[in-house]
Amino acid sequence: MSSLNLRKIRTIGRHTLISLPDLKLTDVPAKIDTGAYSSSIWASNISIIDGELQFTLFNKQSAFYSGKIINTKTYKVLSIRNSFGHTELRYKVPLRVNIEGRLMRIQFTLSNRAANRFPVLIGRRTLQSRFVVDVSQAPTVIENGKVIASDILQDKNIGSWYCLGVKAVKQLSSNLFANDLSALTAFPR
């Protein structure tokens, strides 16, 4: 039986911001989902060309979309049961990611997450032996080491605002803190 080093386990909330340093992407919202086994990331334009997997992260609807084409020969094809119980084929690729200051290589399945609040889902395979989830921990938005917003008005549906990205949350939170509640109607739920 292996010994677990409790000092290396970090507490994480129900969602967080991640970075993909190899792709120069920062402050990407991610949902922490202990009900999902694997992690998933929003991908589009997925194809196989000469035995190489080609895709872009996100799509033109997303503020995180760069249009950069990613090519890799390191991938797997898996049969995944989605949250509706349907089985679908997905590609699985390794990506370097920084979660709560911890840099690691994670296996992500590529999926269309356009209809989801969060473009990235972190499953329990990634969380195991690295993080413990505290759902009461308020999600925070941090920019350059400084907390910008923390659980705006304790709203239960914060994910829809949080997924907007740092700039939109800063604008929304500054309006809220100035008692301008008209900002609540400026963003769709």
For the stretch 113-168, pLDDT in tens is 988 889 999 999 999 999 999 887 765 554 444 444 554 433 344 444 444 455 55
Q: What's the half-sphere exposure (Cβ side, CA atoms, 13 Å) at 70?
A: 20
CATH assignment, 10-133? 2.40.70.10
Q: Find the range with the poorest average confidence among 33-47, 59-73, 145-159, 166-180.
A: 145-159
Strand-pair partners of 178: none
Task: Report domain extents, the chain.
Answer: 10-133, 140-185
| 85-94 tens-digit pLDDT | 888 899 999 9
- Check residue 117 and give its pLDDT: 85
Burial class for 9, CB neighbours closer than 10 Å (0-12, 13-18, 19+): middle
CB atoms within 10 A of CB 144: 6
Residue 148 sits at φ, ψ, to 5 deg, of -95, -50
Written as one letter, the residue type at 19 is: S
Q: What is the pTM of this model?
A: 0.72
Reading the block at residue 138, the tokens are 């308020």
Q: Which residues contact 60 (CB under 8 A, 6 or more apart)?
A: 67
